[in-house]
Amino acid sequence: MNSLQIEFICNKKDRKDYDAKAPINVMSQEKIRKVREYHKSFSEYKITPLFALDNLAKEFGVNKIWVKDESYRFGLNAFKVLGGSFAIGKYLSKKAGLPIEELSFEKLRSKEIKEKLGDITFVTATDGNHGRGVAWTANQLGQKSVVFMPKGSSIIRVNNIKKEGAEVFVTDFNYDDSVKLATKYAKENGGVIVQDTAWPGYEDIPLWIMQGYGTLIDEAIEQIEALGEAKPTHVFLQAGVGSFAGAVQGYLASKYDKRTRPITIIVEPENAACIFKSAKINDGKPHAVTGELSTIMSGLACGVPNTISWEILRDYADMFVSCPDYVAARGVRILGSPLKGDPQIISGESGAVGMGLLSLIVEKQELKNMKELLKINEQSKILLISTEGDTDPFAYRKIVWDGAFAN
């Protein structure tokens, strides 16, 4: 490990203990087109902004830097609602015996469908954003939600979920054990678990959540093409359980062949780097990280990989990176304090870690090898996705105003 405490692994192509490629047709453009049509049926739906940081690109010695800003998504300050809303829609469509193409969000809200389906309680565990999205969707549809949160959860995130009508329990456990508690609660109380991680025997809803995230990357590629650009050359993807990263990776692998696919960099907090650990062990299987999972990147504080996402990332991602918290804090400050002429982007810690890492790759001699392996140069067109805004404003101010978590 270098003095920056950033570890990275290039994806190893010499694996001989398994040959099958993870199925990426589940994230095909045709499937995601249907997901977007569903999301477009929401009155709240608008394409979130794609900002160009042209002056920063010059400063970093690259061609383009684009940031997809998900703080604008449905007024909920984060992207997660895309997954929860689509998964709940798919669940209800199956329960109603109707294809989701025939069920707009407005129709799902109708008295006719509500009476047909009856009362349903959706249950989940969350570090904040996913639970808020599930609670919002359930509330919009006249259904109930119960949300479990890990110990140490921000009171602001707790209250934001309660405002969406959910019953909230803050547990004495970490995220992964809170998932187990939520699953047990749903089973004992006849609820429906809506979790953004998969495990053997529980894969349909996590897959639907991943497909819901497909709207985001489909929008971004559409926006880039509208600028006259073919595609990004590099995409930085932050990972917790890996659902978001796996969804975007699956979409890119489905849309582009190996020769033209953007280079992808999977970024995790060092104390919860389960995807990185799985890649490092390199036996083709997912491996969990245990313990406190302590990190300021609360949305990424997950120790057990989503089994569906892991297989996609295992087979298609290009690099896996483990980062200390100061990398995310640096990204928050860079986005919030732009170079003159570039737009300001308010990004939370989980949303900004990609920017923090990119800045260090291009600036620090210690990461020169990393830069060369990734082929980041003056031709590079880099896409970053700020998956959340300042979902905890107090933590955001400590970083931006007080310089918290500086290296």
Q: What is the pLDDT along the chain (407 residues), one digit of tens a residue?
A: 688 999 999 997 544 444 557 889 999 999 999 999 999 999 999 999 999 999 999 999 999 999 999 999 999 999 999 999 999 999 999 999 999 999 899 999 999 999 999 999 999 999 999 999 999 999 999 999 999 999 999 999 999 999 999 999 999 999 999 999 999 999 999 999 999 999 999 999 999 999 999 999 999 999 999 999 999 999 999 999 999 999 999 999 999 998 899 999 999 999 999 999 999 999 999 999 999 999 999 999 999 999 999 999 999 999 999 999 999 999 999 999 999 999 999 999 999 999 999 999 999 999 999 999 999 999 999 999 999 999 999 999 999 999 999 98
In a domain, 239, yes or no: yes
Instruction: Please tell me the distance from the alpha carbon of residue 64 to that of residue 48, in angstroms, as a whole number.
Output: 19
Q: Are residues 338 and 356 both part of a single domain?
A: yes
pLDDT digit string (tens) for 296-339? 999 999 999 999 999 999 999 999 999 999 999 999 999 999 99
In a domain, 1, yes or no: no
Q: Are residues 90 and 222 both part of a single domain?
A: no
In a domain, 200, yes or no: no
In a domain, 405, yes or no: no
In a domain, 266, yes or no: yes
Q: Are residues 180 and 270 both part of a single domain?
A: no
Contact (CB, 8 A) for 318 and 273: no
What pLDDT, on a 0 to 100 scale, did the predictor assign at position 21?
Answer: 78
What pLDDT, on a 0 to 100 scale, did the predictor assign at position 16?
Answer: 45
- Record the tokens describing residue 18, joined without a space: 């398994």
Count of C-beta atoms within a 10 Å radius of residue 332? 29
Answering whether pTM is above 0.85, one says: yes
The residues facing 381 across adjacent strands are: 64
User: Of 169, 195, 221, which residue sits at a domain end?
Assistant: 195
Q: Are residues 269 and 382 both part of a single domain?
A: yes
Q: How far is CA 312 from CA 11, 57, 245, 270, 308, in A?
A: 12, 30, 9, 21, 7
Q: Are residues 264 and 379 both part of a single domain?
A: yes
In a domain, 88, yes or no: yes
Q: Are residues 59 and 88 both part of a single domain?
A: no
Number of domains in the chain: 2
Cα-Cα-Cα-Cα dihedral of 175, 269, 204, 171, to 10°? 10
Q: How far is CA 163 from CA 76, 145, 312, in A?
A: 11, 12, 35
Instruction: Please tell me the distance from the alpha carbon of residue 234 to that of residue 237, in angstroms, as a whole number.
Output: 10
Q: Are residues 142 and 98 both part of a single domain?
A: yes
Q: Are residues 211 and 329 both part of a single domain?
A: yes
The backbone region for 319, taken as left when phi is positive above 0, alpha when psi lies in -120 to 50, beta otherwise, is beta
User: Of 164, 195, 226, which residue sits at a domain end?
Assistant: 195
Q: Are residues 298 and 209 both part of a single domain?
A: yes
Q: Are residues 87 and 69 both part of a single domain?
A: no
Residue-range definition of the domain harbouring residue 139: 81-195
R_g of the chain, CA atoms, integer Å: 20
User: By C-alpha distance, which of 136, 158, 155 is closest to 145?
Assistant: 136
In a domain, 407, yes or no: no
What pLDDT, on a 0 to 100 scale, did the predictor assign at position 13?
Answer: 57
What pLDDT, on a 0 to 100 scale, did the predictor assign at position 222?
Answer: 98
In a domain, 216, yes or no: yes
- CATH code for the domain of 343: 3.40.50.1100
DSSP string, 262-297: PEEEEEEEGGG-HHHHHHHH-SSS-----S----S-
Strands of the sheet with 192-193, listed across from one edge: 167-170, 144-149, 121-125, 192-193
The residue assigned the tokens 């953007």 is 262
User: Of 195, 218, 250, which residue sits at a domain end?
Assistant: 195
Q: Are residues 167 and 312 both part of a single domain?
A: no
Q: Are residues 225 and 316 both part of a single domain?
A: yes
- Positions annotated as catalytic residues are 80, 127
